[in-house]
Chains A and B, each alone.
Chain A
Amino acid sequence: MNIDGNDIQQFHEVFGKVEQEVSKHIIGQKDVIRQVLISMFAGGNILLEGMPGLGKTQLVKTIGKAMDLGFSRIQFTPDLMPADVIGTNVITRGEDGISRFKFEKGPVFSNIVLADEINRATPKTQSALLEAMQEQTVTVGTSTYKLPQPFFVLATQNPIEMEGTYPLPEAQMDRFLFKLDVGFPSLEELHDIVMLTTTSVESAVEKVTTAEEMLKMRAVARQVPIAKPVMDFALKLVMATHPQYEHSPKITKDYVRYGSSPRGAQSIISAARVRALSEGRYNVSFDDIRYVAFPALRHRIFMNFEGLSEGITSDTVISQIINSMKME
């Protein structure tokens, strides 16, 4: 893909337009919107966690429309089977009267797949998404099918009502670039949400970019330079999530069972590049790393028993790690 100076300079503009368009239809949640966009431009999957009714599904739908991307939604339930997600071979009779197996694509074959309440499906069904999320392919029998590009999985999960749910295994969690906490809107935001959704006026979402343009922007984002001190900072940050690392802060050593995998570092760097461009900068800064560290690492840090019992969150750990590090 040929990238020139214009493409680079346009990134900020396009990103801003998408953000602006989505913000028109999603009240509040500015940080969530931005982080979802960063993750999408970085080519990653997103796990959205929040109470029901906070607009998670609406957010994903709106982004899909603004970017002119295909959108499909899968409501995960305990009886959902992998074939319901990825598709299955069905017997069809051809014009010549001979019956053949034909692969019927599942809802995963879309640009944006919303896996709603992903933790309600069984691990078997959850893991059906693993290949799609990582390799962006689907294998049924002996055939492997490429998923349409760009492809993103945006999964949601409910932090309450844990009864009858199947928490995502670490391997699957690691496949999400970001885990975002969707918070409750403020009073003003709530007012706007109510006003917007209870009137008869329906505002259409404007398409501000295309799939192709988005792929180009992804390529641009990969070229953003990162200075060695900044890169070192990111890598040390990931290392510091491990209790075995000698320079880890006390909180890590005391409360963390497992730290981030190398995917965590990859996620930070990819996302930081997009964040830099979204700010109109052409290099990654310490601020970018700090900004993306929370969503990129919070689902990759697993607390030990003491941590869980004392209510230490991974965000607290990340925050203390960042504070303990010098930026040189």
Chain B
Amino acid sequence: MGIMELFRVLKPLRRRMFINRALDCILWGLCIGGAVGVIVATAALFVPVAFALNKVFLCIGISFFAALVAAVFMFPDYKAVAVQGDKLGLKERLVTALELKDDNSPIARIQRFDAVKAARSINFKKAYPFYVDRKKLFGALGLFMAIALIFFIPSDQREIARQKERIKKAIDEQVVQVKKEQEKLSQNRELTLKEREELNEQLKELLKELKKSKNEQDAVKAIARMQHKLDEIKQNSMDKDLTRLGEMLSRLEETKEIGNALKEGRYDEIREKMDALARKLENMDENEVNQLAEEIEKIARKINENPELAEALQQLAQAMQSGQFSQELANMSTAMSKLAGNAAMHKAMQSLGNALSQARASLASVNSDQLANPILVSNLKGSSQQGETDSSNTGVKGQGSAGIAQGVGQGNSGSDSQGDSGEGEGNGGNGSGTGGSGVGDGTGSGREGSSQGGLAQGNSGKEPGEKKVRNYEEIYASKRIDGADQESYVSGTQRDSGTVEQVQVEDGPVLMGESLPYNEVFEQYRYEAMKSLERSTIPAAMKTLVEEYFSSLE
């Protein structure tokens, strides 16, 4: 009787052992998963853990499946089966027989025979029943109940975690959107391979950064960086001469529309504009045409870096003087279109740009929800600042939060309290001013949801762009930067109790402004500052100071 006979006899025991081991292993898995789940659930009481419940389920699931996989590998070998069999009263017959499997001496043969005989005499069903360790089973159940109970314990951190979850979901949605854009891009046959690759590379970079984003700020920054890069690409892809030409042409009354179209990249409109110019030229007298021809010739000389375009302009000027300009206008249009590069590329970039803007708006809206919760406002890192700016000389106090902005103006003396715009501005909120004879000037802006919650901007409030350019810190950019907004004047006389006026403004903060990387709005701010320098009576030295300030920021 060989060892195979013994193996055959031991097979039922082996199967039973496997099932018992698997059950035990699974119970272990559930216990470990439950224990980790309890830790996660408890941790979620004290620190914000996003998707805590999902994580708990994940822990339990992973442990369970790991246990299942482990159980598969725990199929007992015959040595273990022999040891177990011996414990059932076989008195080490099986272990000995297994050790003697290659021995063919009389004693080994007799011993094997004895082992097989003894093993056959045992009813493994009775001797080795299926077994579920109750301690482990109840332990696992207890842990699950503990998890459930912990989740019923109220905690502020859970609210914060929920907000984080919303942000994460929003980021994930944007990741999906970016992937869709990537897909669209890869199917866009109008673009050259190089262009596709260039844009695709940028999108990949964006995806990577979005996935790495830990909060909405990171995500918005990543999107802003992408937008910035798109702008750079756009800038590089456009012919600078065309832009310059557009600049120059826009200064002339007759070619203003063509110039603007060139500047703004509306190349598909050029031919139409050229036709319009041709019609205009036909109605012009000879002097005017000659004058225009001279101007165009001057322009042609100025853009001599681009001989093709310069030559086309030169020829146009000559043709205008000779009265044969229709054909040359057409040639000019063709040259411009050619130089304008690939319109499809611009279109694709435009589409991407729109998608990115939407993404940013979407993320920003998540943040505005977050700001609506006072607990979150006080707890969330990176969005917990409450801005309050008090300006004594203008009597402005602006305070805003949760979409409600209040502008309180109080003039302290007739002349000193002069405010130049006097506006309580807060979208979706209230602006109120109390004052004497002066005019309160405040801009309390309910934040649309960025890093500076409830920022109030008074005249002496934070100046934009305080050495943040390099970091591209997000700042709130009001759409009313030029002051074109509702105005509120507070009437009254000096030192009386004044009146209170409340103005219900029309729209929510989100639509009236947005968070932008500083470098994007810097130019606009500088432009506005320069513009106001021109129209205000400011000492020359102060003008220089302001100019130097902006130069230093550059």
Mark A residues whose CB is within 8 Å of B.
3-5, 8-9, 223-230, 281-287, 328
The complex places the Cα of A227 from the Cα of B96 at a distance, in Å, of 5
Closest to B90 in A: A285
- List of 4 A-B pairs having minimum Cβ-Cβ separation, nearest first: A283-B96, A285-B91, A282-B111, A285-B92
Please, which residues of chain A bring their CB within 8 A of the CB of B97? 283
Spot the interface stretch: B102-110, B215-223, B518-526: B102-110
Jot down 17 A-B pairs with beta carbons below 8 A, ordered by A: A8-B106, A8-B107, A223-B105, A225-B99, A225-B100, A225-B111, A226-B96, A227-B92, A227-B95, A227-B99, A229-B92, A282-B93, A282-B114, A284-B96, A285-B91, A285-B93, A286-B91
A229 and B95 contacting across the interface, CB-CB below 8 Å: yes
Say which size band chain B's interface belongs to: 20 to 34
Q: Which of B95, B96, B100, B109 has the most CB of A within 10 A?
A: B96
With contacts A281-B91, A283-B93, A284-B92 taken as known, whether A225 is within 8 angstroms of B110 at the C-beta atoms is no
Please, which residues of chain B bring their CB within 8 A of the CB of A4? 106
| In the assembled complex, B330 has its CB within 8 A of some CB on chain A | no
Which of B96, B99, B106 contacts A5 (CB under 8 A)? B106
Closest to B112 in A: A282
Interface string of B475-509 (1 = CB under 8 A from A): 00000000000000000000000000000000000
With contacts A281-B114, A282-B114, A283-B96 taken as known, whether A225 is within 8 angstroms of B91 at the C-beta atoms is no
B108 and A225 contacting across the interface, CB-CB below 8 Å: yes
The complex places the Cα of A37 from the Cα of B533 at a distance, in Å, of 123
B111 and A283 contacting across the interface, CB-CB below 8 Å: yes
Q: Which of B92, B95, B105, B114 has the most CB of A within 10 A?
A: B92
The complex places the Cα of A230 from the Cα of B82 at a distance, in Å, of 13
| In the assembled complex, B83 has its CB within 8 A of some CB on chain A | yes
Which of A5, A226, A284 contacts B110 (CB under 8 A)? A5
A108 CB, nearest partner CB in chain B, Å: 34
B residues 70-118 touching A (CB-CB < 8 Å) = 83, 86, 91-93, 95-97, 99-100, 103, 105-111, 114-115
B110 and A8 contacting across the interface, CB-CB below 8 Å: yes
The complex places the Cα of A229 from the Cα of B96 at a distance, in Å, of 9
The complex places the Cα of A247 from the Cα of B109 at a distance, in Å, of 37
Closest to A5 in B: B106
Please, which residues of chain A bring their CB within 8 A of the CB of B83? 229, 328
With contacts A281-B114, A328-B83 taken as known, whether A286 is within 8 angstroms of B106 at the C-beta atoms is no
A287 and B95 contacting across the interface, CB-CB below 8 Å: no
Closest to B108 in A: A225
**Additional A-B contacts beyond A4-B106, A8-B107, A285-B92 (19; CB < 8 A):** A3-B106, A5-B110, A8-B106, A225-B96, A225-B107, A227-B95, A227-B96, A229-B92, A229-B95, A230-B92, A230-B96, A281-B93, A281-B114, A282-B111, A283-B91, A285-B93, A286-B91, A286-B92, A328-B83
Please, which residues of chain B bring their CB within 8 A of the CB of A9? 110
Which of B86, B93, B107, B115 contacts A223 (CB under 8 A)? B107
Please, which residues of chain B bring their CB within 8 A of the CB of A281? 91, 93, 114
The complex places the Cα of A227 from the Cα of B97 at a distance, in Å, of 8
Which of B91, B103, B106 contacts A287 (CB under 8 A)? B91
Please, which residues of chain A bring their CB within 8 A of the CB of B99? 225, 227-228
